[in-house]
Structure 1
Amino acid sequence: MPKPKRALKPIPIFKSEAAEREFWETADSADYVDWSAARAVRFPKLRPSTTAISVRLPDTLLAELKILANERDVPYQSLLKVYLADRIATERRQQRRRLEA
């Protein structure tokens, strides 16, 4: 026999985005939203926000990076991001293994 649906609480009106954020950090959304009616969506053009930084690299390292990027037909900054992401993922995996041992 299926469970009877419980009544959802009304979502409050918020005075600011900060107040709404604070509310949802502690509230259980299942009390306010019927997730059984939810459906998966995709946002293919959504890009993560980025922050510009300045990194000083030796000229030879930058030249090698640009050569590798040119061989792969990608911008050197994009290749650098891929290399950094790969290395961070490797470091995190090693860290998890050390903690599990």
Structure 2
Amino acid sequence: MNAIRTTLLVALATVVLIGTGAAAGAVAATPGPSDAGPGDAGPPSELPDQVPDFVGGVLDSVNEFLDGGVDDLGETVSEIAGNGAGEGDGEEA
């Protein structure tokens, strides 16, 4: 009798867990309220502006720092990005 009771309790618990999991999945898959219409699906039509030219130099300097080619990353990035002092040839401070 205990084996039947245990089996029924396990079956009932399984049904409850599967039911709540399916309900949670259905809720997660339901799209939220939005102003977008059905034809507005897909990527945005406007892309952000390009980054300034010096960003590539900054990224290159970070990679060189990680490879051990640059000792002072802060100073190098400041020179590339322009720190306000000695703009131009970089020799004036």
Indicate whether the TM-score tops 0.5.
no
TM-score (norm 1): 0.21
In our comparison, the structure showing a higher alpha carbon Rg is 2
TM-score (norm 2): 0.23
